[in-house]
Structure 1
Amino acid sequence: EFLRGRNEEEEGGFAAVMGLLRPRLGKDTWKRNPATKHIFSWTLLHITRPWLSQHLERVLPASLLISDDFREENKVLGVHCLHHIVLNVPGADLCQFNRAQVVYHALYNHLYSREAPLIQAVLLCLLDLLPTSPCDEVLQLVLTHMEPEHRLALRRVYAKTLPAFVQRLGILIARHLKRLERVILGYLEVSDGPEEEARLGILETLQCTIEHAWPRMPCRLPVLLKALLKMIWDVHTDQGSTPEPVRAALLQRATKCLILLDRCSEGQVKILLEGVYSCCEENRVHECMAMLILVFVQ
């Protein structure tokens, strides 16, 4: 209340605080006192909708300035400030004077970073900004970075945020299916540790993709089915440190994807699974296939 006022008509102390901070938040002055950026961010995060809109011209330049620093911790802090602004300022105000585009380009440039905390902050902010900015361009760059990525921390961040991009695009995800398929296959193949965050995220991505672009799935059935069965087999025979709840979640999501693929391919998945079950003599394969076929029967 002290910072924002009791209602929209009453002016709180935020304007006065920003007046005191403004000389210290210049391009050449904000680094002289390390506390300045923390005072600014703490104060900003306590001003929410609808009060923040009237202070947009005071807070946006400083947030952009901090996010444009060379130090990762400052970049992350600046992006968090930008995210708060995006969440608490109406879209119409952000679009006025092309502010949304300025924020978008500032965030987009950070997508070339190799630091997982920064990428996570940027992707979450972009998802909330995307109604006023192009989503295809972001997803194209994200997929380009995901495909060759080998760092587990970054793979987890990318995979966990990818389903939201697919949901946002809807049927338009069909534009990206070729590259998205390669990413899905690559991430299903590699385990990323006990919690399997990357695999779980990519399975959710595949499920969303099938739901939105199901007419394009039958032609991709052989490749996707092979990848899913290989992953299910790996999980089924895993004797490692993967906790049982994680194994169950992986099998559940993979089975859901198989069911969706079966529906959009007019029962082809069930037929193929029965074929594998009848021609293979390996007991563990029989057990695994029987488990999957039982799900389809139910």
Structure 2
Amino acid sequence: MERAQDSSRGAEPARDSAPELQRSVAQLLQRLSRPEARPGIVGNGALADLGALLEATECDALFGAGSEPPRAVSELLGQLAKALEKWAAPPGEEASAARGLADVAERAAAVGELMLQLLGRVEAAPARAAGLRPLAAPVYVFAATHRLQQPWSSPRSRCVAEEVLSALLRVAKCGSVAGFLCGESDDETGRFAAVMGLLRPHLSKESWKNNPAVRHVFSWTLQQVTRPWLSQHLERVLPPSLLISDDYQTENKVLGVQCLHHIVINVPAADLLQYNRAQVLYHALLNHLYMPEHHLIQAVLLCLLDLFPVLEKAVHWKGGGACVTTHCHEVLQLILTHMEPEHRLLLRRTYARNLPAFVKKLEILTVRHLKRLERVIIGYLEVYDGPEDEARLKILETLKLVVQYTWPRISCRLVVLLKALLKLICDVARDMSLTPDSTKNALLQEATDCLILLDHCSQGQVKSLLARIVLSCEDSMVVSCVRKVQAASAGAPCSGT
């Protein structure tokens, strides 16, 4: 190693020191690749020697004095960057459970300092673009692995990783990570394909759990690539997303579904429909709705709502316009089936939060689900949902939409819905819990709006039924709500509700 440093210090022309430099880098690469180098003294010594070598070597020796660096040295430095990234990566699940992740952050900080040093050399070289080419993907993967708060990171390693990412963008002359991955202009090729080429071997069914960081790096990288660039990489990103979403751990399921959702909203419908991809996505997502995990249900429902238009286009193109909302009907039926007996508050809130979007989607076709919707609405209005009362507020929003879209079918359900709303108003008026006044006021206002809509679509029947309450009720909140209903215009047309 001393001989390599001496030859570097005495670098007269770059071509004289290049062979010696290649030998030195090759030796360091071999040392880092040994099994005993991670995480031991051998690896730490190799890092120290590499730092000394970079410090002592002129830029011309590394990257040449012309517009293109020596190919052999360039490829060797690319292999070295890959070895450094791999050396700093967290171990697999079994290894991490046995050994812990305490030493990973320390290794990452040391590797980050070396990468900053290497990027500084690239920035000062005449052949900056060519010198960066073999280094860009492994340096990016390293930075993406260690920049976020994870069990294998520390404040120092995260700070160094952020510095590495900033330096990489500066050397690449990119204003953002998206520009780095996709290209800053239409005629510029981004580095997403190179990054995925580095990640792809670790995203197979057999290997993706050997490195706990790879799924997070893939997910974060995918989120940076949007329309119109993502469609050309669909074959690279769809299989890993489906693989991660199909894991037994809820955390990975949610991460995979979020990746699928990003694909759905950033890839044209024609590409998703090709090779029946959209149907594959639909059935993969539908299976997750049987899992009682509220985070997963939330992610799946949001993704499905954006997938429905894609599936509808397929039906429309086939000439089946009458069945265009079949998938939405199927999902809503399943949701209502799960909602009715559900007693866990987090799941109730999740279902109720997304129910208005399905009613808006189906509009008048919601009548197909009216019987079950009625039972769900009445059941959910009876149950207190905590200080924020999110579930009941969302159910009231759903009821307003149902009345607006299906008003001709509401008159036969008028008495049942009226009783449920009046009971809610009385419960809120008598509520002495820690529920904030803002939440109580919102509940009362939403319930009053529902009563007004019911009155409009029943030609004033609600006013007649509420007339006696003003005379007999002593609660000012209840009377105030009733008076608002009475004051509402009785001449509003039914079609305007």
TM-score where L is the length of structure 2: 0.58
State the match for 2:425 in structure 1: 232
State the match for 2:149 in structure 1: none
Q: Shift of residue 93 of structure 1?
A: 1.3
User: What CA distance in whole angstroms lies between the structure 2 residues aligned with 1:271 and 1:232?
Assistant: 18
| Letter of the 2:406 counterpart | A
Asked if 2 retains the 8 angstrom alpha-carbon contact of 1:273 and 1:293, the reply is no
User: What CA distance in whole angstroms lies between the structure 2 residues aligned with 1:291 and 1:116?
Assistant: 34
Question: Can you list the C-alpha shifts for 1:76-107, whole angstroms capped at 9, x where unaligned?
Answer: 00001011111111112111111111111111
State the match for 2:405 in structure 1: 212
Taking only the aligned residue pairs, the percentage that are identical comes to 66
User: What CA distance in whole angstroms lies between the structure 1 residues aligned with 2:198 and 2:385?
Assistant: 48
Question: Can you list the C-alpha shifts for 1:168-189, whole angstroms capped at 9, x where unaligned?
Answer: 0110000000001100000000
Find the partner of 1:73 among 251, 254, 265: 251
Larger Rg over CA atoms: 2
Question: Can you list the C-alpha shifts for 1:99-126, whole angstroms capped at 9, x where unaligned?
Answer: 1111111110000010111111111111
User: What CA distance in whole angstroms lies between the structure 2 residues aligned with 1:132 and 1:256?
Assistant: 34
| Letter of the 2:278 counterpart | A
Question: Is 1:248 the equivalent of 2:441?
Answer: yes
State the match for 1:186 in structure 2: 379
Asked if 1 retains the 8 angstrom alpha-carbon contact of 2:356 and 2:394, the reply is yes
Find the partner of 1:25 among 199, 203, 222: 203
Question: Can you list the C-alpha shifts for 1:120-155, whole angstroms capped at 9, x where unaligned?
Answer: 111111111111331000000000000000000000
User: What CA distance in whole angstroms lies between the structure 2 residues aligned with 1:217 and 1:51?
Assistant: 48
Question: Is 1:138 the equivalent of 2:331?
Answer: yes
State the match for 1:200 in structure 2: 393
Question: Is 1:283 the equivalent of 2:474?
Answer: yes
Q: Shift of residue 295 of structure 1?
A: 4.1
| Letter of the 1:251 counterpart | L
User: What CA distance in whole angstroms lies between the structure 2 residues aligned with 1:225 and 1:8?
Assistant: 59
Q: Shift of residue 29 of structure 1?
A: 0.7
| Letter of the 1:288 counterpart | V
Q: 1:80 to 1:287 in 2, by over 3 A?
A: closer
What are the ranges of 5 or more consecutive residues in structure 1 without an aligned counterpart? none
1:241 aligns to what SS in structure 2?
Answer: coil
State the match for 2:29 in structure 1: none
CA RMSD of aligned residues (A): 1.2
Question: What number of residue pairs does the alignment pair up?
Answer: 295
State the match for 1:121 in structure 2: 299
User: What CA distance in whole angstroms lies between the structure 1 residues aligned with 2:329 and 2:246?
Assistant: 24
State the match for 1:97 in structure 2: 275
User: What CA distance in whole angstroms lies between the structure 2 residues aligned with 1:155 and 1:79?
Assistant: 20
Runs of 4+ deviating beyond 3 Å: none
State the match for 1:177 in structure 2: 370
Q: Shift of residue 290 of structure 1?
A: 4.6
Q: Shift of residue 276 of structure 1?
A: 3.1
Find the partner of 2:347 among 154, 178, 183: 154
User: What CA distance in whole angstroms lies between the structure 2 residues aligned with 1:219 and 1:295?
Assistant: 20
TM-score where L is the length of structure 1: 0.96
Query: Which has the bigger relative contact order, CA under 8 A and spacing at least 6?
Result: 1
1:58 aligns to what SS in structure 2?
Answer: helix
What are the ranges of 5 or more consecutive residues in structure 2 without an aligned counterpart? 1-178, 312-326, 489-497
| Letter of the 1:90 counterpart | P
Asked if 1 retains the 8 angstrom alpha-carbon contact of 2:451 and 2:485, the reply is no
User: What CA distance in whole angstroms lies between the structure 2 residues aligned with 1:66 and 1:252?
Assistant: 44
Question: Can you list the C-alpha shifts for 1:56-81, whole angstroms capped at 9, x where unaligned?
Answer: 11100000000000000000000010
Q: 1:52 to 1:8 in 2, by over 3 A?
A: farther
